[in-house]
Amino acid sequence: MKPHDVLMPSEGMDVVADLIAGRLPLHRLWLEPDPDAWLAQWAPALRAVASNGHQFPIDPAFMRRLPHLEIVASFGVGYEHIDAKWAGEHGIVVTHTPGVLDDEVADIAMALTLMAVRRLPQAERFLRAGEWPKSSFPLTASLGGRTMGILGLGRIGKAIALRAESFGLDIVYHGRHAQPGVPYRFYPSLAEMAKACDILMVAAPGGPETRRLVDAEVLRGLGPDGVLINIARGTLVDEQALIEALRTGAILAAGLDVYENEPNVPAELIALDNAVLLPHVGSASVKTRRAMAQCVVDNLVAWSEGKPPLTPVPETPWRGSWGID
């Protein structure tokens, strides 16, 4: 096994594996007849991991099995499936793919907003079912005059804000702290921001700290004309509380691209006519997914050449060469 061999623990998009294999020796653990036995034999020689999906947690137990691990290159912006804090404490750099998918996800965020407020999927189903000759589609709510509260004003949140402003929406935001130089009003309390807006856009990272941050209290704050849009992680929203809010009319509608237990979506949510549901396609264009895959490869190649990885996560800053051969 060569010094720069890369381990991919789980299957994902073919383009990721193909691009890595074009530059570095790649081992696909899921193809091994006995992955545990293979890993027990080869783990001491492995120093790089390519994480190709959230279905395989890169936790301390797994990283301990690779005693000479130096880098985990993850496909995607979110990396809550990786214990980055532990990795950083043990000299392992974790990289992700920020920037390359911001615009694509922001476009879907605004599309979901329009779809949910104006009931566009319902209108299309109405036409396809042959109902239009019988009657007009019911009038809908309007997007104009609304305030969008953005939970998580990072790169994607800012890209959404720019688009929302062009639609004439007022913008406010909530996060861990107020950001200098941002022209939008900051709310230190999510519950208070929910009361001040009627579109709540969820764009914050996942993980234990944000789990079910959008709960029944926040949804009540949005009110009966309120709309929830989630393009971040399903874990940020209390799914049962959302189902109840939609079912009872506590909020007007929701537009979701992510769910708590993907790809399993609760039947109660699917049955609701005021929920617009997409199968996690925020960044799912050929161009963007290839750019994400290339970012994974570029980080691994930089590491293999003893150079700083391009996009390390904050918990694992690059500390220089760790004796790479």
For residue range 143-186, what is the model confidence (pLDDT) as tens digits? 999 999 999 999 999 999 999 999 999 999 999 999 999 999 99
Place of tokens 């301990």: 64
Residue of 233, 239, 260, 289 marked active site: 233
Kindly give the pairing relationship between strand 6-8 and strand 26-28: parallel
Which CATH superfamily does the domain covering 102-277 fall into? NAD(P)-binding Rossmann-like Domain (3.40.50.720)
Query: Can you tell me the distance from the alpha carbon of 230 to that of 281, in angstroms, rounded to the nearest whole number?
Result: 12
pLDDT at res. 12: 85
193: which DSSP letter? Answer: H
pLDDT for 94-103, tens place per residue? Answer: 999 999 999 9
Of 2, 17, 1, the C-alpha closest to 296 is 17
State the chain's maximal CA–CA distance in angstroms.
74
Residue of 28, 185, 220, 280 marked active site: 280
Residue of 131, 209, 262, 305 marked active site: 262
Please give the sequence-ordered ranges of beta strands (E in DSSP) within the chain, or none if there are none.
6-8, 26-28, 48-51, 71-74, 93-95, 147-151, 170-174, 185-186, 199-202, 227-230, 253-256, 275-277
pLDDT at res. 320: 55
pLDDT for 185-232, tens place per residue? Answer: 999 999 999 999 999 999 999 989 999 999 999 999 999 999 999 999
Residue 90 is among the residues annotated as catalytic for this protein: no
Taking residues 58-69, report their average pLDDT.
Answer: 97
Kindly give the pairing relationship between strand 93-95 and strand 253-256: unpaired
Determine whether domain 6-100+286-304 maps to CATH 3.40.50.720. Answer: yes
The domain locations on the chain are 6-100+286-304, 102-277
Examine domains 6-100+286-304 and 102-277 and report if their fold is the same.
yes
Residue 233 is among the residues annotated as catalytic for this protein: yes
Task: Reply yes or no on whether the pLDDT at 34 is more than 80.
Answer: yes
Taking residues 113-124, report their average pLDDT.
Answer: 98
Two tokens, residue 60:
């301390």
Residue 262 is among the residues annotated as catalytic for this protein: yes
